[in-house]
Structure 1
Amino acid sequence: MTALGELIGIDDRTVLVLGQELDVERGQPDVGNALVHRAGETLVIVDTGVTDAFRAALREATDRVGPWSRVLVLTTHGHPDHVANNDLADELAGGAGAPAEHFVPAPDLDQMRDPDAYWVRAFERVEGMAPLPAPAVAGPALVSLFRPYRPFAAGTRTYEERPLERIRLGSSRFTGWTFADGAVRVLRTHGHCAGHVIVHLRDCGVLHLSDEGNGACGAMADADQVKIQTTLGAVALLFEEGEAALLTDGHTFAVRRGAEVVVPFLDGLLEQATALQTAALGATGGNGPVVPGEFTARYAQAVAATGGGGANPNALFLAMMAVNQLRELGLRPESAAPGAPWSRPPLRPGP
């Protein structure tokens, strides 16, 4: 059993700070794991989570990794469980008299500025498919759990303001950005949501997957299933070739090492993805209209059977996954009405 803010030492200059699971009934936000690492004289923090207690744990971790003279905070994506303490960059810089930089993905800026609108949109897609209040109420209610919410620092910039780099790791090619004289690599993946990145720490061999490994099927409206699965395959190759040795992520409260990264974890996620797609295809019942509520119930059974629900499994997120799975199969809602049937668009226009 882990506790919010528990510190796992990876080496003398790298610490994983553990988050917690979502519990809406208790008013408990989920908190994404964070990494604190020292690359030379640069303090690197990958994601900042949420809550004052987690902020205090991050401060404790910065004291463990040794002396530093610069602060670099990297945001993997814009969801509130990963960004709410981002102004910690200013606090650390002010206390140490050190320059601070904070980078975020440009595609996620809108949701960081207005998380209510992002989550209202997410819930509108499953209206009539899962038990929830009106999306206009449910979205702000969820976001209200993530307090204090301070997603920007004084020096926040987007990664995309820097020239894009071609980054080669073993036989793999990525695009992204490097920091701390190449010791920190930010790799574009854009699967879990529109701006998602992953982070490779060269000197300690850690690859931080953040939320790209959060279940076999992405739930969010801006998730891209192909990019998620491509990322999982590319990361598996990095471990097979010895380009990374340790895997951390946003919601698994552990450090995975060596062979266990690929089998069973990454290969397991890809197997779950193919099994869920196969089950979803069977649950559509052929070429006729699909009732989304009924499909979601059958899809939930498949998720339970494969263990592919990811972090924070609940009826709402399952419905969000089901919508994405229907779209991936090529179906579309027949109208904008909540709970409207889904079907395959005709291949040719009508007469």
Structure 2
Amino acid sequence: MTSRAAVALFVAPLLLNVALPGHGATPEKAAAPGSPPDDLQATHAEPELRSLELLLEGFHIDKKYISMEGPQEKMPIKSKLPPDSTVWVRSMAVEMVDAENEAISPEFLCHAWLSYRSPESGGMMTVSQGTESVTLPEGFGFPVPNTADNRVMLIGMIENNNHEVIDQRAAMKYTIGYYSDEDAQRLGLEALKPLNMVARPDAPAVHPGEHHVAGLKSHHWLVPPGRHTYRSPVVRPMFERPGNPLGIGTNTRIHFMRVHLHGYGESVALLDKTTGETVWRGYAKNADGLRQILHSDSYSDVEGVPLHRDHEYELEIVYDNPTDEPIDAMGAFRAFVSGDLVERRNFKRRR
């Protein structure tokens, strides 16, 4: 399996305006009293967000694929980022395109990840069908170390729930907005850590695509025809900590989270069982006549909402299956948190 990369790195250009004496030169204007020199103003100008465009290619859609069964491609991107440094990711958007780089339906997007992994840590920013772009709250960033012992990758997977006969070449066009480490420090950005909160309900059947993600301990199930509500303790994939299943610290706060559902999913809610309160509920809008999520909600807030390690949390997921057959399902929040979060322990084993 091969992938070819197309990359464009955009940095704000420095425009020079030079005129020679006797050739239409305009007399130099005096600076206003108390104004700093132009070179000093440039030195203190606020850093601009950099934009990196990458193309993850090689997808061929030739039949129906339910979630987690479609073609997958990966691409290392260490060489596309500033070497031996940390980049602070603020945003990521993914567009589905064809072999000629023309936009096609987002219904073919299962998920797209920007992922890093080192022997000691790891994390990822993700988008999926219904949420093809994410932007962190103002003043925050997701630090991605691009160092020698780190693996930085793009990972994408296709799905096709609606077309029996199809022959479509496809690619994923990533647009990543980031600051250099130096610029992030100048701006005073606060680091956010990714936290995946996944449901594992007591469902009667297992998603047939489970073997694709069994190593990640992701949780899929089948929903029979009709409307169904599922409740499940919150699970953090690849993390086991009795008494603290999310690895929450003393000052952990959620600043961003987005709904992750499969087609015909209606909503996901984070419930605090200790207080009986709903922390947040997000909804999805489904297409008419197709199994496709058109939009799913996101929560984004500078102040954030606290998580308490001595509280018990669960997810409530609602699906409405209008077909006469079981459908694949998943319910999760892809979140970013500030404060303390216990690291997973098995990065070395999975490297």
Q: TM-score, normalised by structure 1?
A: 0.25
Taking structure 2 as the reference length, the TM-score comes to 0.25
Query: Larger helix proportion, structure 1 or 2?
Result: 1
Identify which of structures 1 and 2 has the higher relative contact order when contacts are C-alpha pairs closer than 8 Å and 6+ apart: 2
Larger Rg: 2
